[in-house]
Structure 1
Amino acid sequence: MKTTNVAQFWKPLDARESASRTGGPSFTLGNRLMRVFWRTSWLVLARWTPPPLHAWRAFLLRSFGAVIGENCRVHASVNIWLPANLTLKDNVLIGPGAIIYNQGYITIGNDTVVSQRAHLCASTHDVNDPEFQLILRPVDLGNRCWVAAEAFVGPGVAMSDGSVLAARGALFEDTDPWTIYRGNPAAPFKRRERRAGGA
C-alpha cells in the first residue's frame, strides 16, 4: 500500500486529472471527509455556543489542528474552511460571521482584529489554464492589524504590522506598516497614529 504524503493531503488535485472545472473534486477524498467531520463538529459543538465560551471554541479548533495562542476570541458564527491551515497568535479576535477561507494557510498576528463578516481568502485559480487550476496563496496578517467589517483580503496578501483595511475595502496587494487602506481596490488613505502604549 502506498504511503500517504501528509503535505499532499492538503494540496489541490491536478485539475486535468480530477476535472474539477466540470464538477470533479478539487481535493482528495480524505481531505473532503475531514472537512465534513470538522463542519459537523463545529455545528454540533460550537455553532450554538454563547459569546463568552471562547476558550471552548479555541479548544475545538486546536483539536482539529489549528495553532491558537493565548486569549483568542473566535465567535461561534465564524466560518473556517480548515482549522489545520490556521494560526492565530495571541489576543486575536475573529468577529461574528467572518469567513476564513483558508484552503491555503492563513496566519493572524498578535492583537489583530478581523471584524464581523470580513473575508480572508487564501486561494485563487489560474485564469490562463483551460482547466481553471486551483492555486493556494497564503495570507499573513501582522501584529495589531485590523480588517474592518465586511472587508476582503485577497489571496497572497501580507498585511504589515499595524495596517488597517477599512470597512468593505478589498485588498489585493501587500500593505505598508501602520497605514490605513480603503476602497476597492484598496489604496493607502492615511497613516495610522501610534499612541503611547502601542507596539
Structure 2
Amino acid sequence: MRLNQYTTGTYTPGAPLFQQLLWFFLGDPLVRSRLLPFSGLKVLILRRFGAKIGQGVRIKPGVRIKFPWRLTVGDHVWIGENAWIDNLALVTIESHVCLSQDIYLCTGNHDWSDPHFQLITAEIYIEQRSWIAARAIIGPGVRVGQGAILGLGSVTGHSLAAMTIYAGNPAQLIKKRTIREAIPEMIQNTSESLTPDSKFSVAE
C-alpha cells in the first residue's frame, strides 16, 4: 500500500471546519478536563456541539469524544474515566447503559486490500441496560443487544446477543445473563413513593 496516496474518499467529518476547530480547541478540552467534575456542564457543552443526550447522564473525567454531532445518548447512561468514543460514524447508546473506564468504541477501519488503504466507517449501536466493562473494545458495525455484557478487557468486532455475557479477545459467549427479581418490599416502597404521573412513565 502507498500511504502517501491515502485519501478519505467521499468521507466527511459531518460539520463545518469552524465547528471542528471550536470543538478541538475549546469543547473537547473542557469535556476531558479533570478540573471540571460536573457532568451537567459537560452534557451541556456536548449538546451545544450537536450531541443528542438524555437526562441523568454521568460523564467522568478524561472522556474523549471524536465528534459530538455524531453521538446519541439515552437517559441515565454512565461513561467512565478515560472512555474513548472514536465516532467517525454515528454512535448510539440507549438508556441505562454503563460504559466503564478506558473503554474504546472504534467506528473506523481500513481496506487492507486497497493500495490506498481506503477508510471504512460503520456505526456502533448499544442497546439499553448493557454493560461494557473496563478496557473493553468494540469495533465498527457492532450492535450490542439489550442487557448484554462485554467483560473486562474484552474485544469484539461482532454483534452481541441480548442478555448474554461475552469475554476474551476475540470475545466469546460465556453464558446467558440473568437478573435477580427485586425484593417485594422494595417494589412496594418504590411504588408508594411514586406520583401517579411517574408510575405511568415507569410502566412505559
Q: Please classify the TM superposition score into its range, dividing by the shorter chain length.
A: 0.7 to 0.9
Instruction: Name the structure 2 match of 1:176.
Output: 161
Q: Which amino acid aligns with 1:89?
A: G
Cα distance in 1 for partners of 2:48, 2:168 equals: 37
1:61 equivalent to 2:43? Answer no
- 2:49 maps to a residue whose letter is F
- Alignment partner, residue 147 of structure 1: 132
Equivalent residues in 2 for 1:95-110, closer than 5 Å: 95-110=80-95
Aligned length: 178
Provide the TM-score with structure 2 as the length reference. 0.80
Name the counterpart of 1:37.
Answer: 22
Residue by residue over 1:93-147, the C-alpha shift from the partner in whole angstroms, topping out at 9 and shown as x without a partner, is 1100000000011000110011000000111111221111111100000001111
DSSP 3-state at the match of 1:173:
coil
Q: For residues 12-161 of structure 1, what are the structure 2 equivalents within 5 Å?
A: 21-22=3-4, 26=8, 33-46=18-31, 47-51=33-37, 53-161=38-146
Partner Cα distance (1:95, 1:25) in 2: 33
Q: Distance in 1 between matches of 2:106 and 2:166?
A: 18
What SS does the corresponding residue of 1:34 show, helix, strand or coil? Answer: helix
Q: Is the 8 A contact 2:98 2:129 kept in 1?
A: yes
Assess if the C-alpha contact under 8 Å between 1:35 and 1:81 holds in 2.
Answer: no
**Secondary structure class of the residue paired with 2:125:** strand
Quick one: structure 1 residues 38 and 24, their matched pair in 2 at CA, closer, same or farther if it must change by over 3 Å?
farther
Change (3 A) 1:144 1:28: closer
Report how far residue 74 of structure 1 moved.
1.5
CA 1:182–1:70: 2 relative to 1, 3 Å: same
Indicate if the aligned counterparts of 1:57 and 1:76 stay in contact, CA closer than 8 A.
no
TM-score norm. by structure 1 comes to 0.82
- After superposing on structure 2, the runs of 4+ consecutive aligned residues of structure 1 that deviate more than 4 Å are 27-33
What is the deviation of 1:173? 0.7
Counterpart residue type for residue 25 of structure 2: T
Q: 1:195 pairs with 180, 183, 189, which one?
A: 180
SS in 2 for 1:120: strand
RMSD: 2.2
Distance 1:33 1:135, change over 3 A: farther
SS in structure 2 at match of 1:100? strand
Q: CA deviation at 1:66?
A: 0.3
CA distance in 2, matches of 1:140, 1:195: 26
| Equivalent AA in structure 1 for residue 74 of structure 2 | K
